Structure 1
Amino acid sequence: MLSRRLLMITPAAAGMILIVACGDTSRSAPEQLISEDKLHEHIAVLASDGFQGRAPATEGGRKTVAYLSEQLQALLLAPGNEGRYTQTVDMVSVRLGQEPELSLSGDGFSQTLRYGDEMMIWSPLQESDIEVSDSELVFVGYGSVAPEYDWDDYAGLDLEGKTVVMLVNDPGFASGDDALFNGRAMTYYGRWTYKFEEAARQGARGALIIHEDEAAGYGWEVVSGSWSGPQLALDHDGDDPQLALEGWLSLSAAEALFEASGHDLDALREAARQPGFEAVALDARARTRLENRFERSRSDNVIAYLPGSKRPDEAIIFTAHWDHLGVDEEDDSLIYNGAVDNASGTAAVLELARVFSEMDTAPERSIVFLLVTAEEQGLLGSRFYGENPVFPLSKTVAGINLDSMNVFGPTRDVTVVGYGNSALDEHLRRAAKAQGRHLRPEPHPERGYFYRSDHFSLARHGVPVLYPNPGIDHVERGVEFGEAWMADYQQNRYHRPADEYDPAWDLSGLALDTALVMRVALALANSKDWPNWQQDNEFRAIRDESRRAEKNH
């Protein structure tokens, strides 16, 4: 029996929903199947104090994994990992034994930068003592190797034992030229994670990124706050090269370094925006010593799936992270329950699992429900899945990520993070049109939000992904209301104990958005379409190679 709260939204929204009802009067229309009651139920449970903020590797985290597993098992969905509903993720927490110093010196000058104020440094090496001594500094512009843009900041360099210094974001943002990279919209080449990875692939000993507020999309206090204290990482050796030293320089510290070593940072920044830029040795050297202390732990991804009726080896994956920030270390009365972030997305995936599981006939392709751990610690659960996929990524049709969803009522629009990246936009546009809605590109693509949630762990392996966010044009109250709600959440509740569940929330918007992505998944699952990235996208070549290898297998 359908819940009495199935899309029971306000009269002003009835016209929009009527478009759906007239298009499909059967009870199988997604909008008629998603239950607001179920969404409320799951969010209330997951964001309750009893789950203690759902931090990985805690009692609250284990309780969350048990709840999710039980819910999926009760739906008679197939366990997603060799007969189990869980995929164990081994992690290691790395804490500095003491605040390090970073010494920079050259001909006639010597600087010792202050930890927290002028620099933040650490080592990703899982070693107790790391020393970087007499490491030559080389300015490598934006530190990008982007073949689709005919760009290579490392051309001809031998970086053994050296530390590279680079700018944040990418040349497109800096130049404002829409024809360069992706204009002001950040590409992966502008993301700090890529910059460290590429520097390691190039054989560097260390890498330092110059922080600038606008180009980074956040202030220095975010840098100093995010990289102080314990850092969680996957606990594995891996085959990928790693730097001994990673870190950030404040803009003022970088300017002082360049001036002391006889270089003009402004002039070099301008040169780095031009094609054919060549790296510049700074006539300066770096020295530091880092002491790492380790604590190992484990958590779990939760996976279930509905086998496809015709092509079960081809899959569409729904992802959401179940974790949040746990209990405050200094005041255990403060619990970060993360009701919006991301009990809302987790609830939506559970509700999708219920609706799909109750279908008389399964879609032609498999539907996977992947609830991942440790997103808040750096996308670790989804990264582990990307490196250890249960369903081959070459046969994964698409990923749809649900994170921090709409709890304030229905909107006429849908915000798309990463708009224009792939052919999936057209699938989403058709689904939105069926609901009488339209797509809205994210307002700040230069801030790189596309690279900050779990879909990215699939994207970096070539899988096309969608990351829809709440719209802002509220059906009854308009854009001003939607913008004010989002601003209030960001300023007063995001990553704060105030992100609490409210039984008065109007979840008709969440139900509508959940039905929207169900429409996309159904269309893909019942087709033979293989959506791809746009031709100039940084992940296109990875996807093309993956599909070629699969076809030749």
Structure 2
Amino acid sequence: MNRIFLSIVSATLLLASCNPKEATFGEEDGLAAFSSDSLGKHIAELSGDDFEGRKPFTAGETKTIQYLKEKFIAAGLEPGNGESYFQEVPMVNITTDAAPVMQVKSAKGNFTLQGPDDYVLWTNKTDAAVSLNNDELVFAGYGVVAPEYNWNDYKGLDVKGKVVMVLVNDPGFNAGDTSLFKGKTMTYYGRWTYKFEEAARQGAKACLVIHNTEAASYPFTVVQNNWNASRLRLDPRGREEQLCDMIGWVSGPAAKKLLTAAGKDTTLFTSADVRGFKGTALNLGLSTSIRVKTNYNQSNNVIGKITGSKYPDETIIYTAHWDHLGIGTPDETGDSIYNGALDNASATAGLLELARGFKSLPTQPERTIVFLSVTAEEQGLWGSAYYAQNPVYPSNKTVANINMDGLNWYGKTKDVIIVGQGQSELEDYLQEEAAKVNRTITPEVHPEAGYYYRSDHFNFAKAGIPALYISSGIDVIGKESGYGKKMNDIYTEKNYHRPSDEYDAATWKLDGAIDDLQLLFRVGRRLAYGQSWPQWKAGSEFKAIREKSR
């Protein structure tokens, strides 16, 4: 009997050694490390005037990245890039001096448009000057070529060497036709970045996106901030690129003025929502110019890590961008510092809270946890793009990316919003962890804004790495229905990309931000032990990339 018992015990131990169970942890482990007071202090510091709006290539960058390095060290993080806490990102700063007017030549008579009231222009070219010289204007609908949706706005349309004018968002948006593309949910085809990329592929000399506040999800004042300002992009030297000479936006009223001069009306815009739409030349000539100055330099991503105890080559990467817009056009109060408290000092501070949470765990994570604060998000997601192209940790060994861009500033919510819902199994992990603390998942309030394509997780997704991105909930505890949405809308209208995005300890309620950070911590903690690999869901445009890399 004893021999049989010993045999059973030995067999059980042998099986256990061959099939080790995933490590366990207490549900409360690490949560006590999160502090709204600590979070608020970091936000206040990073968004203070002394940091000059945290624009790359400025004294504000130097101060910001040194601050993050010091706080990473204080939190007990190891250097995340070999022996360094920095990853250098080679970039070029392009400063433009655009002519104040655009001449329009028309059969009905010539006139001028005024910048930046009627239009905003810039260039990604590094030439000393670029210009339009009575170049033909062509309307190309939404400027979309999407074979999977059987849609081609450029079919049969010659735009080589011409100026293309296109609508923002996806086909069907302005008509409210939810049968086209993904209905109210914007795809990447709706983003202005795509419009410029496709126009360049088609050989256009310039591309103008027609602004519409609802379709763009922000007012024209947001793009006007780029008038004759400096912008950054990755250093293009040694790379082949297709670029338009000029890119920019035209206001809704100015676009209608151009239509009138061409003998058209807004029914032309309406026709772009109908399948089979064909673009048309407007028989207008545009002339203007931009003088360009360039400065090549390096910005920095900031990286810290906690090395995994069992699977150190498998990584979970938390991201938040540290940069904002720097010093720019003064607002109506004369304030010219774009502090970026919510966008994105809040989530940058959140990285520090997450680091403290993981360092406080009683058992070291089995997988490596990486805390990556990236540069130049505001300029076009360039810091995360450079990391994705030059990963410190191989993409096929990166389990997941969890990105943050703006934390909850108006109090605890019963819900949390998954941005771009339906993409990956990370959403299921989030929903399960939310249920444990009696929170629910709410659909996006503005799916038409395409937020899944507007923050740094997008570059990880393009590399095939499952990426999770959440937004603050709207069901605020103790407030009337819709309070959270109202707060978000007020921020977008009054503070987004404006000097007024400042931290106010008297009005900001960060307990909701702590709840959201703890929720994202729970997801990462779950991934940090064991060897589960979340997958992209069927229908995700990123699924095939991951399967190929793995």
What TM-score range do you get, normalising by the shorter chain? 0.7 to 0.9
TM-score relative to the length of structure 2:
0.84
Q: Which residue of 1 aligns with 2:13?
A: none
- Of the structure 1 ranges 176-185 and 525-534, higher mean CA displacement relative to structure 2 is found in 525-534
Q: CA 1:170 to 1:513, structure 2 compared with 1: closer, same or farther past 3 Å? A: same
| Contact 1:327 1:333 (C-alpha < 8 Å) held by counterparts | no
Three-state SS of the structure 1 residue aligned to 2:183 is: coil
Unmatched runs of 5 consecutive residues or more in structure 2: 1-23
> What code does the residue aligned with 2:257 have?
A
Q: Which residue of 2 aligns with 1:248?
A: 249
Q: Which residue of 2 aligns with 1:13?
A: none
Does residue 519 of the first structure (1) align with residue 522 of the second (2)? Answer: yes
Q: Which residue of 1 aligns with 2:532?
A: 528
| Contact 2:457 2:467 (C-alpha < 8 Å) held by counterparts | yes
Does residue 72 of the first structure (1) align with residue 72 of the second (2)? Answer: yes
Q: How does 1:217-366 map to 2 (within 5 A)?
A: 217-237=217-237, 238-266=239-267, 268-326=268-326, 336-366=338-368
Q: Which residue of 2 aligns with 1:438?
A: 440
Q: Which residue of 1 aligns with 2:59?
A: 59
Q: Which residue of 1 aligns with 2:404?
A: 402
| Contact 1:119 1:250 (C-alpha < 8 Å) held by counterparts | yes
TM-score relative to the length of structure 1:
0.84
Three-state SS of the structure 1 residue aligned to 2:173 is: helix
Q: How does 1:338-487 map to 2 (within 5 A)?
A: 338-479=340-481, 481-483=483-485, 485-486=487-488
**Shift, 1:227, TM fit:** 3.6
**Shift, 1:228, TM fit:** 4.1
**Shift, 1:514, TM fit:** 0.9
The one-character-per-residue Cα deviations of 1:510-552 (angstroms, maximum 9, x if unpaired) are 22111100122233343432321550x4x33xx413531x24x
The one-character-per-residue Cα deviations of 1:271-322 (angstroms, maximum 9, x if unpaired) are 3222333332333443333211234444311012233444444332211122
Query: 1:395 & 1:25 partners in 2: Cα distance?
Result: 23
Query: 1:104 & 1:295 partners in 2: Cα distance?
Result: 32
Q: CA 1:332 to 1:167, structure 2 compared with 1: closer, same or farther past 3 Å? A: closer
Three-state SS of the structure 2 residue aligned to 1:175 is: coil
| Contact 1:30 1:519 (C-alpha < 8 Å) held by counterparts | no
**Shift, 1:219, TM fit:** 3.2
Three-state SS of the structure 1 residue aligned to 2:127 is: coil
| Contact 2:46 2:341 (C-alpha < 8 Å) held by counterparts | yes
| Contact 1:416 1:469 (C-alpha < 8 Å) held by counterparts | yes
**Shift, 1:54, TM fit:** 3.1
Q: How does 1:127-166 map to 2 (within 5 A)?
A: 127-166=127-166
| Contact 1:49 1:335 (C-alpha < 8 Å) held by counterparts | yes
Q: CA 1:439 to 1:381, structure 2 compared with 1: closer, same or farther past 3 Å? A: same
The one-character-per-residue Cα deviations of 1:248-290 (angstroms, maximum 9, x if unpaired) are 2233333333343344441x32332223333323334433332
The one-character-per-residue Cα deviations of 1:376-404 (angstroms, maximum 9, x if unpaired) are 34433223323333223344333222222
Query: 1:294 & 1:146 partners in 2: Cα distance?
Result: 35
**Shift, 1:504, TM fit:** 8.0
Query: 1:373 & 1:352 partners in 2: Cα distance?
Result: 19
Q: CA 1:171 to 1:34, structure 2 compared with 1: closer, same or farther past 3 Å? A: same
> What code does the residue aligned with 1:410 have?
K
Larger Rg: 2
Query: 2:411 & 2:65 partners in 1: Cα distance?
Result: 29
Query: 1:504 & 1:274 partners in 2: Cα distance?
Result: 47
| Contact 1:394 1:547 (C-alpha < 8 Å) held by counterparts | no
Query: 2:74 & 2:227 partners in 1: Cα distance?
Result: 41
Q: Which residue of 2 aligns with 1:192?
A: 192
Query: 1:205 & 1:327 partners in 2: Cα distance?
Result: 31
Query: 1:311 & 1:172 partners in 2: Cα distance?
Result: 47
> What code does the residue aligned with 1:248 have?
W
Q: Which residue of 1 aligns with 2:14?
A: none
Three-state SS of the structure 2 residue aligned to 1:125 is: coil
Query: 1:137 & 1:505 partners in 2: Cα distance?
Result: 47
Query: 1:165 & 1:336 partners in 2: Cα distance?
Result: 30
The one-character-per-residue Cα deviations of 1:221-249 (angstroms, maximum 9, x if unpaired) are 33333344333333333333111121222
> What code does the residue aligned with 1:139 have?
F
| Contact 1:234 1:380 (C-alpha < 8 Å) held by counterparts | yes
What is the CA RMSD across the aligned residues, in angstroms?
Answer: 3.1
Query: 2:527 & 2:135 partners in 1: Cα distance?
Result: 51
Three-state SS of the structure 2 residue aligned to 1:316 is: strand
Q: CA 1:285 to 1:99, structure 2 compared with 1: closer, same or farther past 3 Å? A: closer
Query: 2:109 & 2:329 partners in 1: Cα distance?
Result: 41
> What code does the residue aligned with 2:321 have?
H
Three-state SS of the structure 2 residue aligned to 1:467 is: strand
**Shift, 1:433, TM fit:** 0.8
- Of the structure 1 ranges 432-441 and 518-527, higher mean CA displacement relative to structure 2 is found in 518-527
| Contact 1:464 1:533 (C-alpha < 8 Å) held by counterparts | no
The one-character-per-residue Cα deviations of 1:19-66 (angstroms, maximum 9, x if unpaired) are xxxxx9937545344344432443344344544443333333212211
Q: Which residue of 2 aligns with 1:6?
A: none
Q: CA 1:133 to 1:335, structure 2 compared with 1: closer, same or farther past 3 Å? A: closer
> What code does the residue aligned with 2:395 have?
L
The one-character-per-residue Cα deviations of 1:79-117 (angstroms, maximum 9, x if unpaired) are 222321111234433333342543343556544322223
Q: Which residue of 2 aligns with 1:175?
A: 175
Q: Which residue of 1 aligns with 2:16?
A: none
Q: CA 1:52 to 1:253, structure 2 compared with 1: closer, same or farther past 3 Å? A: closer
Query: 1:468 & 1:66 partners in 2: Cα distance?
Result: 28
Q: CA 1:34 to 1:151, structure 2 compared with 1: closer, same or farther past 3 Å? A: same
Query: 1:480 & 1:328 partners in 2: Cα distance?
Result: 34
The one-character-per-residue Cα deviations of 1:304-346 (angstroms, maximum 9, x if unpaired) are 2233444444332211122334456769987554433323211
